[in-house]
């Protein structure tokens, strides 16, 4: 099992690297030479490609911010804020407490607030309270456990986005770095924001780059793509919908975007095999099992990378029929569904 896991981890790394290279190939700029900064954060390859800022100081400054965000949103880093929040909840659970309130920084508050908004909008297809199940499955590590039906039922009884409430706290004269709070009805919940944190961070990095004067760039957080403006020649960026297989660089479709984000969620991105069964990381909140919706991947294009991130996960869980009905009420997103037969079904606002 260990060899299988290490091999799959290597394949995931290759797939992420391929997405970086593919984007650069698709985004040739008619003679303009791109500058690329790459790194590794959130257990994934990250890169910023930029054209109009010859001095890399702005990009270096923003790349350095990735560590700051990792110290907020990582569920597994003992030094992160989210880890501390979950630890505080676990302590409260041991003491038999309920309706526990914990302070939040501005970034964690805003991300959680957005996550809960979309949990309600998607009727629970997106749920940030599945952390305990994700700990068992351990998709990013090597200690994989497939929970039994009894374990899943027990854990799910202590999950549910409705049990979380965020609020802004007003205290006269308080200049604390944590002016917000989260109240959790059931402290046995373990919060996980892996389904939207990269999108939220990409949006913040975009704001910071634009504030530094960067007007043409590509932010790639492990396949979560956000482009600032258009290419230097004024044309939109070309993005590919990759064939949903580990390590693939083959396009099933291409589209063009300006000042927008494209995020893909798929069953091929993080997974492991046990007893001949493949378990992928997109869990159905209703069952606690990997979602079985007849889809291999979903790509969502939206102005906000956080929204694209959330909806790509939600739509994968929903399946094309229900997600398509949801899309009918949206005026500003495009969706590319890839089914198990590798057909690409496009839902576009033209």
pLDDT, residue 6, reads 37
pLDDT one-digit tens code per residue, 216-262:
999 999 889 999 999 988 999 999 999 998 878 899 999 999 999 99
> Taking the domain 81-184, which CATH number applies?
1.10.3980.10
Q: Tens digit of pLDDT for each residue in 273-316?
A: 998 999 999 999 999 999 999 999 999 999 999 999 999 999 99
* 2-73+195-347 carries CATH number 3.10.520.10: yes
Residue 185 has pLDDT above 70, yes or no: yes
Tell me what pLDDT residue 35 has: 86
Both ends of the chain: CA-CA distance in Å?
A: 48
Domain ranges of the chain: 2-73+195-347, 81-184
Least confident of 13-27, 182-196, 216-230, 231-245: 13-27
Query: For position 187, what pLDDT does the model report?
Result: 97
CA dihedral 82, 84, 89, 92 (to 10 degrees): -170
Nearest to 194 by CA among 291, 281, 284, 298: 281
Mean pLDDT of the chain: 88
CA 103 to CA 179: how far, in whole Å?
7
Return the pLDDT at 349.
87
* Residue among 301, 151, 197 nearest 239 (CA): 301
């Amino acid at each position: 099992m260990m060899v299988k896991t290490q091999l799959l981890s290597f394949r995931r790394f290759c797939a992420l690297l391929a997405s970086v290279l593919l984007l650069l190939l698709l985004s040739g700029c008619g003679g303009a030479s791109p500058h690329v900064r790459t790194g590794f954060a959130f257990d994934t390859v990250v890169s910023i490609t930029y054209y109009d800022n010859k001095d890399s100081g702005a990009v270096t400054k923003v790349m350095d911010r990735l560590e700051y965000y990792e110290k907020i949103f990582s569920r597994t880093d003992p030094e992160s804020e989210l880890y501390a929040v979950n630890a505080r909840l676990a302590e409260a659970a041991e003491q038999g407490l309920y309706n526990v309130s914990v302070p939040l920084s501005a970034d964690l508050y805003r991300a959680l607030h957005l996550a809960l908004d979309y949990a309600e909008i998607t009727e629970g297809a997106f749920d940030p309270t599945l952390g305990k199940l994700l700990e068992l499955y351990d998709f990013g590590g090597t200690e994989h456990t497939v929970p039994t039906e009894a374990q899943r039922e027990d854990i799910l009884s202590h999950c549910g986005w409705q049990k979380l409430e965020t609020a802004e706290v007003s205290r006269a004269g308080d200049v604390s770095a944590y002016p917000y709070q989260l109240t959790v009805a059931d402290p046995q919940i373990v919060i996980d924001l892996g389904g939207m944190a990269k999108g939220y961070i990409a949006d913040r990095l975009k704001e910071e780059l634009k504030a530094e004067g960067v007007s043409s760039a590509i932010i790639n957080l492990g396949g979560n793509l956000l482009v600032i403006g258009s290419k230097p020649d004024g044309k939109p960026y070309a993005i590919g919908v990759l064939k949903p297989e580990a390590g693939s660089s083959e396009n099933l479709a291409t589209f063009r975007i300006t000042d927008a984000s494209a995020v893909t969620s798929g069953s091929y991105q993080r997974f492991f095999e046990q007893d001949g069964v493949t378990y992928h990381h997109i869990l159905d909140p209703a069952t606690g099992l990997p979602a079985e919706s007849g889809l291999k991947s979903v790509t969502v294009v939206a102005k906000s990378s956080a929204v694209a991130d959330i909806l790509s996960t939600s739509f994968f869980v929903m399946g094309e029929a229900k997600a398509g009905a949801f899309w009918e009420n949206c005026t500003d997103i495009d969706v590319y569904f890839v089914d198990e037969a590798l057909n690409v079904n496009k839902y576009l606002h033209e």
